[in-house]
Amino acid sequence: MSNLPDRSASKAMRLLGLITARGGSKGIARKNIALCAGLPLLAWTVRAAKQSGVISRLILSTDDQEIAELGRSYGLEVPFMRPADLANDRASSIDVVLHALRWLQESEDYIPDYVLLLQPTSPLRRAKDIRGAWEKVCAQGAVSVIGISPAREHPFWVKRMDTHGRITEFLAGESVPATRQELPPAYVVNGAIYLSATTAILANNTFYSDPTYGYVMPPECSVDVDTELDLRLAELLLKRNHDGD
């Protein structure tokens, strides 16, 4: 049995946008609302989500009252507060998504067809990226679509080193191409887009279900803010992209 909802009327499918922004963070204090190019990090994700024009409901999941109020000021729904045990360093994103889905079903009898997880740490994600991922769902019958970008370091050139300092190929048994031009395309998950059918998420407890398609984004739109250096890089790119707005 397919995990994919009936797409006979794709425009009627309900896409829930879920922005996750807890109050705590390790690398950057209160990272999700740290200022970046004049706006809180959260604001850039809200902006792209709203401009995409494909999201039926846009909800914020947070444990922090200040972030909740900021989210409401940007027009986000904050129908619940996230429990503390889902706002620590050990809580997984999928558990946060499952909590939101259960709350919406039990409290509002609301079950979206698809869920789009949007993390504020990807401020360079564009509205057209969200639309592009959704178009893959509608055009290709994708159960899941994940944002990816070209790998900076190709896995064929990654090495292992043992305790004596000797290096070997990381991909043992593979024939390593001699030049960059011969390398097959390689991608990394960029953290910007996680989109999946609700039925698949509930059945598999993951955004990766068969078939999962990749939505390719350029490196300059794939910065994942984890450190102060990432934040400064994102700021430079955002200022460049929005000069004259």
**For the domain that residue 221 is a member of, what is the CATH number?**
3.90.550.10
Residue 193 lies in a domain: yes
Residue 2 lies in a domain: no
pLDDT digits (tens, 9 = 90+) for 120-159: 999 999 999 999 999 999 998 899 999 999 998 888 888 8
Residue 1 lies in a domain: no
Residues 46, 162, single domain; the answer is: no
Residues 21, 101, single domain; the answer is: yes
Q: What is the phi/psi pair of residue 59, to 5°? A: -120, 145
Q: Give the pLDDT confidence score for residue 209 in this predicted structure.
A: 92
Residues 174, 216, single domain; the answer is: no
- In total, how many domains does the chain have? 2
Residue 125 lies in a domain: yes
Residues 123, 21, single domain; the answer is: yes
pLDDT digits (tens, 9 = 90+) for 66-113: 999 999 999 999 999 999 999 988 889 999 999 999 999 999 999 999
**Whole domain around residue 131: which residue ranges?**
10-149+188-241
